[in-house]
Amino acid sequence: MLVVEVSVQRLFSMFPNGWPGSGLLLLRLVSGTFLIHDGVTELLGGAQWPVIIRPLLETAAGMILLVGLWTPMAGVLVAIVELWSIFSRTGDRRNCVALATFGAALAMLGPGVRSIDARLFGRKRIDIREH
């Protein structure tokens, strides 16, 4: 009887565990929380229809990052929305620069092992048995 175990990683990036995975989780949690806060605060400010598109995208991207779903696409969306914020807002832009950088970093690094992405697309184990 031949038994072969194969580890398969199915999508886009690595899913580190341990300290690197905890660092990615922390980065996702902080970024997602700030994005949701900023987006909801702006939406509650009574913005009109064309102006609410950016805060809606910001809030949605924050929620998706928070749970670690579609992290590369969410990271790119965060970077785009925050760059849009940099050029459309007045005042302090440091928060926007930091969030754009976090989004780009998460898009490149992936979500880590503690995410929905890791559950859906992470390493899988396949047992091949020959009788």
| Per-domain boundaries in the chain | 30-130
Q: What is the pLDDT along the chain (131 residues), one digit of tens a residue?
A: 444 444 434 445 567 778 888 888 899 999 999 999 988 988 888 767 777 888 899 999 999 999 988 888 999 999 999 998 888 876 678 999 999 999 999 998 888 888 888 888 776 666 677 76
Dihedral sign from CA coordinates of 120, 125, 130, 131: negative
pTM of the entire predicted model = 0.77
